[in-house]
Amino acid sequence: MIHPRSCRRRRSLRIRVRAPLAVLFILCFALALDGAGLVRVSLLCAVLHESGHVLMFRWQWGCWPDLQISPGGVCLRLRGVPLTPQREFLLAAAGPLCNLLASCAVLGGMELTGACSYLGYWFASVNLLVGGMNLLPLPGLDGARMLRAFRYW
């Protein structure tokens, strides 16, 4: 396994915020107008999605990646990390898979306990939407990375 030098030096997860005032303004504005709770649930689903990528990166390379938060969203910074098509496919697929598993876990838990709630269905639906949207083969999304990796496999 190839370990880049940046992995040997850093042991903790680094989070960079790009345009912090814009990110803070957008979050405050969105949360202030969020009467139904859609933004809060969406943020939780996005955190679960990125956690899938982070854990797959940690499993594959043995170190924590850099995360970048910008007004456009959250992304992994992969500068200097060697990616084979198989590793890129696994790394890209980990986020949507995490959303799918979270949705199945909530729906299965509600089915087993009989304690169904709107919040549970809301959470499961938003998880499926976040995971499904990221599977689209558009530039910048996981689907495009998976398609490119599969093509060079």
pLDDT score of 10: 56
pLDDT score of 3: 54
Query: CA angle, 135 as apex, 128 and 130 as ends, to 5°?
Result: 30
pLDDT score of 7: 61
Q: Do 152 and 85 meet the contact criterion of CB atoms below 8 Å apart? A: yes
For residue 116, the tally of other CB atoms under 10 A from its CB is 12
Q: What is residue 77's DSSP assignment?
A: E
pLDDT score of 11: 63
pLDDT string in tens for the chain (153-residue length) = 445 555 655 568 888 999 999 999 998 999 999 888 888 999 999 999 999 999 999 999 888 899 999 988 888 888 788 889 999 999 999 999 999 999 999 999 999 999 999 889 999 999 999 999 999 999 989 999 999 999 987
Q: Do 96 and 135 meet the contact criterion of CB atoms below 8 Å apart? A: yes
pLDDT score of 1: 47
